[in-house]
Amino acid sequence: MSFDSTVRIEAITINPLLDEWPDPPVVDARVSGPDADTARSKREQIGLQLFGALFFLGVGGLGVTAWWRGRRAAAAVPLTAPEPVAHPAFAAPAAMGHPRPNRVVWRIVAGWLGLVVAVVVTSWSLDRWNLREDARYAAAAEGTVTADRLGAERRIEVSYPGGDGSVRTVRLTPVTPADYPVGTKVPIRYLPDSPEEAIPADQSPFAVMPRSRTFFAGALIAIGFVFVVAWTWRLLRWVLGAARRRTEPMAMAVLTAEFVSMSAGPSAFWVILTDREGTRWHQRVLWDRRLLEAGAGDRAVLVRRCPGFRRMYLVDVPGVGRLLPASTARRRPPRNYVLTPFDLRDLRSARPSSRLLRLGAGLMGVGGIFALFAGPATGVLAVVLVLTYLLWSGAVPWRGFAAGR
């Protein structure tokens, strides 16, 4: 009931997140309008506003810090590699023994298969959960529209008999409000133990909000599906590129990359490929321990261009092996990385234990949050998504640091 007694809402939900129920149970709360279904108490509003202010201040502070550190890093370290050293860039590659087997391919394929399995299992688990939830609404009743065109969403109010002999009401949002005038019959299903919890028997004519678990899990499944499609296309490009017989000689320089907004040491490897015309192509490559053998300085390599709209090169380093691309090749250096010439001391001076600790804490946090809101299968999918993204983006793992010691 409003303070001036002009607006009365039959039933409304009050979330006592920050309050205890008073005695007598009278609570001052705010609602969005006469057709609202949720109210928030004053103390809860203050808490939510404080949380929102702290959240936006934190995000803004991180953004300003990243921008400032990026400017300092860009001013201190050039974003491009230095001029090539005196080296016969396009000399005929000399044989340097048999190249080591490429184990990166199998890790990539295993990660791709793991993501496919995680997406399928999570979709199946979500579907089974929704079937179980729908089965809980076992009681049926025939409802009647008692009010229509409520609020801006033109909702309708449906009254139906509960199992305890009472008359219950539920508000629904039809897709076509004109099809549900007052007096229209609407079949209803409700929980036998809680008759006030009701849904339409046929949900297709109504705009029904998805359950929170369905929303979170569905969003993550959609992201996983997009990644599966994108990485399947990348695998196909690799296969078609490796099948090409035509090769092109280029000069390659290996660089380490560090995020401009972080100072956690090298996070990926990039190569600069220089063709005969002097055009430079910047490309991120997947982490491979053989990058340590490629070393610093310019080397003569053979590249195979993968089919596609944007350039992508498979890089064959004589005596070392094939380096797989983790991004497309572009003329300009990346703006979110600081590129520096490869130096083995960068890896030796890094602390793999701290990076492993941060990664483990992050995975536990992400997986735990999604498992809490959307079930264990969704939590596992979140962890798999993070790990496969790091694998496909060429992130240097903690074992890479140990390899440089």
**DSSP secondary structure of 284-335:** EE---TTHHHH-SSEEEEEEEEPSSSS--EEEEETTTEEEPBSS--BSSPPS
Question: For 166-317, where are the E strands, in sequence order?
Answer: 167-172, 185-190, 198-200, 248-259, 268-274, 280-285, 298-305, 313-317
User: What whole-number distance in Å separates Cα of residue 215 and Cα of residue 211?
Assistant: 6
**Tokens 């192509």 -> residue:** 281
pLDDT (0 to 100) of residue 377: 92
DSSP-derived pairing of the beta strands 13-14 and 38-41: parallel
For the chain, the residue count is 405
pTM score of the predicted model: 0.69
**Mean pLDDT of successive 10-residue segments in the chain (405 residues)?**
52 52 61 58 63 68 60 48 43 46 78 93 93 88 84 79 82 85 89 85 83 89 94 91 88 78 64 88 84 71 89 86 87 79 60 68 86 90 90 68 46
**Distance from the Cα of residue 94 to its chain's centroid:** 44
User: What whole-number distance in Å separates Cα of residue 291 and Cα of residue 294?
Assistant: 5
Contact between residue 382 and residue 367 where contact means Cβ atoms under 8 Å apart: yes
Question: What does the DSSP 8-state code read for residue 215?
Answer: H
pLDDT (0 to 100) of residue 150: 73
User: What whole-number distance in Å separates Cα of residue 313 and Cα of residue 322?
Assistant: 10
List the structure tokens of 247: 């090769």
Locate the domains of the chain by residue range.
1-76, 81-135+210-405, 138-196
pLDDT (0 to 100) of residue 57: 72
pLDDT (0 to 100) of residue 402: 47
pLDDT (0 to 100) of residue 124: 95
pLDDT (0 to 100) of residue 94: 45
User: What is the three-class DSSP state of 248?
Assistant: strand
